[in-house]
Amino acid sequence: MKPTLFVLAAGMGSRYGGLKQLDGLGPNGETIMDYSIFDAIRGGFGKVVFVIRKDFEDDFRGKILSKYEGHIPTELVFQEIDALPTGFKCPTERVKPWGTNHAVLMGKNVIKEPFAVINSDDFYGRDSFAVLGKALSQMNGKKDDYCMVGYRVSNTLSENGSVARGECRTENGYLTSVIERTSIDRIDGKIMYKDEEGKMIEIAENTPVSMNMWGFTPDYFAYSEEYFKDFLKENINKPKAEYFIPLMVNKLINDGTAKVKVLDTTSKWFGVTYAADREGVVNKINALIEAGEYPSCLFK
């Protein structure tokens, strides 16, 4: 059974001001997400599930899904803020989505095989999908044994300002915790981050960081659903509280319920963190095409 790629795209409409402005960065208007789908197909994934908002379903089907027809099966699920467990009611003043792990929960009825979770607007690179696809293909029938792609921090920086990353602490190749590091930047040749006291601390070039590229088996849904109830009991009236994937993962690790293997990749991440990043992303994609990593037209 081939693994499934689960793409978090529910924020897309608001973030890009509507699908009409989905940014074409490739030579034929390809989006960053198109490159992820292309790499996933090469990495052995058998299906793509997108989680989106219901209000732009028609637009998404016409502009996005249609291009993948004949290349890989696709399916849509929807993240709505009132999609809560029985007994919970969304406060009327809530406008913010419930976070990435709530989005993941929306896939529970359609994903029955090992699956990867990615953001729609990050360029992850060919090697990362190959590494993750291989790991997931060996996870059929398993449970409580997950994985994530740990990018080398030096491969995730922006040339136009500092970034925030989740530093992955590991033991024997398995994740022990994800610690949020802010203001990571290369200063005088060294990679530095700002600690809680505002001091700049050096971090090693190959330190693994999370770029929200996870590998799970379907039992993850049941854990997520159960813990979401606990989260809501504490946070339902906090309008900005979000149920993030690392929150769930850290709980499972700390409880000794599950373990998460950290997979190394040589891929270089890039994305449009700052407006000034756009030109650099276009140039990097063109360079990869010239190097033969991608065809000039992804989906004909």
Q: Are the C-beta atoms of 267 and 126 separated by less than 8 Å?
A: yes
The strand pairing partners of 150, in sequence order, are 210, 264
pLDDT in tens, 192-227: 999 888 899 999 999 999 999 999 999 999 999 999
Model confidence at 8, pLDDT cuts 50, 70, 90, reads very high
The radius of gyration of the chain from alpha carbons, rounded to an integer in Å, stands at 19
Mean pLDDT of the chain: 92
Please state which of the ranges 20-24, 100-104, 259-263 shows the lowest mean pLDDT.
20-24
Residue 283 covered by a domain: yes
Residue 101 covered by a domain: yes
Residue 250 covered by a domain: yes
Residue 194 covered by a domain: no
Where residue 36 sits, what CATH number does that domain have?
A: 3.90.550.10
Helix, strand or coil, per DSSP, at residue 205: coil
Residue 299 covered by a domain: no
pLDDT in tens, 20-40: 557 788 999 899 999 999 999
Which residues are CB-contacts of 19 (< 8 A; sequence separation ≥ 6)? 12, 13, 56, 59, 60, 63, 64
pLDDT in tens, 136-153: 999 999 999 999 999 999
Per-residue pLDDT, averaged over 88-92, amounts to 94
Write down the pLDDT at residue 226.
Answer: 96
Please state the length of the chain.
Answer: 300
Residue 131 covered by a domain: yes
Domain that holds residue 110: 4-153+208-290
Structurally, the chain folds into a number of domains equal to 1
Q: Is the pLDDT of residue 15 over 60?
A: no
Residue 267 covered by a domain: yes
Helix, strand or coil, per DSSP, at residue 270: strand
Query: Tokens representing 24?
Result: 């074409």
| 29, 175, 265 from 145: Cα distances, Å | 38, 11, 19
Q: Are the C-beta atoms of 77 and 65 separated by less than 8 Å?
A: no
Model confidence at 17, pLDDT cuts 50, 70, 90, reads low
For the entire predicted model, the pTM comes to 0.93
Share of the chain above pLDDT 90, in %: 78
Q: Are the C-beta atoms of 2 and 46 separated by less than 8 Å?
A: yes
| 12, 35, 55, 57 from 19: Cα distances, Å | 7, 17, 11, 10
Closest by CA to 211, choosing from 131, 113, 97, 296, is 131
Residue 164 covered by a domain: no
